[in-house]
Amino acid sequence: MPDPIPTNSSTPPVLPNVIPSDSSLPPVLPVERSRGPVQKYPPPPGPIRPYASLGEMKAAHTLLQRRRRGDFAKDPTLSGEIAEFLYRGHATGALIGSEDERYHAQGLLTYWSNILYRRGGEVEDDSLARFDATRAP
C-alpha cells in the first residue's frame, strides 16, 4: 500500500495531478456547436427496430463514419440519420446483456450523440435501454 499523502492540519491535502481550486487557469469554454436553434429529433412513430446485435450496430456506426468524412458531412440529412442510429441503438440495449457489449454499445451512442449535439441537434434519450431477458436472442 502506498504511503498516505502527508497533510498539515492547517491546509487541505494536495493530491498529485489535481489542480488546486484557486488556480489561475482560464475558465473552460463550452463546446462549440452549430449556431441557431436546437433541432430536436423526436422518436419515430411506432415501434423502433433495434439492431439485431452489437455487430450490426457497429456496422451501422462504420457506415455513418464513412459518410461523415466525405461531402455528406454538409448534408442536412446526416443529422436525421444520426438520430435514427441513436434511437435504434437505444432500443438495442434491451437485447444486449453482456456488460462488455453494453459498455461498447453505449460508447457508440455517446459518440454519435456528441456529433449530433455539435451539429445543433438532440434526441430524447441517448442511453441504452435496460436489458430485457425476454427479448434477448
Which pLDDT tens digit goes with each residue over 73-112?
A: 677 789 999 999 999 999 999 999 999 999 999 999 999 9
pTM: 0.72
Question: What average pLDDT does the segment 64-74 reach?
Answer: 77
C-alpha span between 121 and 49 (Å, rounded): 21
The angle formed by the CA atoms of residues 46, 48 and 51, to the nearest 5 degrees, is 160
Residue 101: CA atoms inside 13 Å, Cβ hemisphere, count? 15
C-alpha span between 82 and 91 (Å, rounded): 14
Cell numbers of 128, please?
441504452
Which pLDDT tens digit goes with each residue over 6-23?
A: 555 555 555 455 545 555
